[in-house]
Amino acid sequence: MSEQGLADCARTLQVDDLYNPTDPWAAFVVNAIKAKELFVRDKAYIVREGEALIVDEFSGRVMEGRRWGDGLHQAIEAKEGLEVQPETEVIASITYQSLFRRFEKLSSMSGTALTEAGASFRAALLSTTRHTRAPRAACPETPDPTQPQRNSGRYTS
């Protein structure tokens, strides 16, 4: 924001300094500018039933229960004339790695399992050949000492 913009904001808000630590207005002003200029309705968010809902920028899905932080969501609610909800407070946080270390056993699921399920099912339906063991008489328990032995690939000394 330019010096002239800061002066205009301070005059409009009737404060001497937007960055005063006891009465900080700068973050509110920046969020208001972001909400007005950068966050477009029906692209970055939608308004449904009196609530501003975030739209995921990659998938286009509505992210129920998610809110932007640092007062940005409140600025968007004010922009749209909605009831401004209090900002959510983070009480505790944990990394995924630390969370998973708390469990003795873990399991997972592939994100591509559903798309590959059809191919796996068709492969399971293919006919298979069943191999049976040779009769015991054809496989003597002790090798014939007069016959040369085949090396099974294992090291012998």
State mean pLDDT over 22-26.
Answer: 88
The sign one gets for the Cα dihedral 142, 146, 150, 151 is positive
In the chain, domain spans: 3-79
* pLDDT value at residue 77: 95
Phi then psi dihedrals of residue 96, to 5 deg: -60, -40
Q: Which CATH number fits domain 3-79: 3.40.47.10, 3.40.50.10380, 3.90.1440.10, 3.30.300.160?
A: 3.90.1440.10
pLDDT surpassing 70 at residue 102: yes
**How far apart are the C-alpha atoms of 84 and 73, rounded to whole Å?**
9
Rounded Cα distance, 153 and 143, in Å: 17
| Cα–Cα distance, 55 to 48 (Å, whole number) | 12
Mind listing the pLDDT tens digit for each residue in 28-43?
999 999 999 999 999 9
Q: What tens digit of pLDDT does each residue of 41-69 get? A: 999 999 999 999 999 999 999 999 899 98
57 or 149: which carries more pLDDT confidence?
57
The residues near 116 (Cβ < 8 Å, ≥ 6 apart) are 110
Answer whether residue 127 shows pLDDT above 80: no
The larger pLDDT score, comparing residue 125 to residue 81, is at 81
Q: What six digits make up the tokens of 4?
A: 């002239």
pLDDT at residue 110, as a whole number:
73
Q: 99-132: string of b/e by CB count within 10 Å (b at 16+)?
A: eeeeeeeeeeeeeeeeeeeeeeeeeeeeeeeeee
Q: Provide the whole-model pTM.
A: 0.55
What are the CA-CA distances from residue 58 to residues 40, 54, 55 (Å)?
15, 12, 9
For residues 10 and 116, which has the higher predicted lDDT (pLDDT)?
10
The answer to whether the CB of 1 falls within 8 A of the CB of 33 is: yes
Q: For the chain, what is the largest distance between any 2 Cα atoms, rounded to a whole number of angstroms? A: 110
pLDDT value of position 156: 55
Please determine, for residue 25, whether its predicted confidence score (pLDDT) is greater than 80: yes
136 pLDDT more than 70 = no
